[in-house]
Amino acid sequence: MFVFTVFVNSPLCRLILAFCNTCALETDIYDWCRDHRVHHKFSETNADPHNANRGFFFAHCGWLMVKKHPAVTEKGSKIDLSDVLNDPIVAFQRRYYLVLGLICWGLIPTYLGVYLFNERPLNSFLFNVIFRYVFVLNGTWNVNSAAHIFGNRPYNVKINPRENKAVTYLSFGEGKHSCLKWLFVLNLPLPFRLSQLPPCFSLRLLGFRVWI
């Protein structure tokens, strides 16, 4: 919700989202917003950080193992991120990301397993941190890979993004890619949810955002 400027989030909502982002340890909010805005604006081109036209593995995680294509760096430097940079929560998280990441991603989940369930520290770390990390990473990466390669395209068959139910359940709605990307192609206002087709996890998440 930091990525799309259509959302106006309360400080409490932004704080919760920042905490969740830090727990996930998938780069800080600023880097995430930059890469995601470039991905949407230049989807399936060389400027797309995880261009699905380069294959499933590259779109899934291979893009993190190689040097960025020059077009990604060039287009990324021109993306407007002033709204993100001016957010004090984002600035604080970016400045202390390594320390916050160690605490939120590693220490807190490990401690909760030990304190609440009397787990051994090593067992708690392996399950609550390592297993969770691998599961969440692959759930996220499938949005970039599987949801761009496998599934149906009810809105426009000429674009890569698909409606992928498995990814939808893994990522709480992000498998609904065909609708969202088609709206970007048409330059229409961003939707209030990722798809009109069920299951609509994003609608419930947006309802929670409004509530807080």
Render pLDDT for 128-187 as a digit per residue (tens, 0 to 9): 999 999 999 999 999 999 988 898 887 777 778 888 888 888 877 776 766 655 555 444
Global pTM value = 0.82
List, for residues 27-45, the tens digit of each pLDDT value. Answer: 999 999 999 889 888 888 9
Quick one: CA torsion of 173, 15, 88, 192, rounded to 10 degrees?
30
> Model confidence over 78-118: pLDDT tens digits?
999 998 999 999 999 999 999 999 999 999 999 999 999 99
Separation of alpha carbons 58 and 92, rounded Å: 32
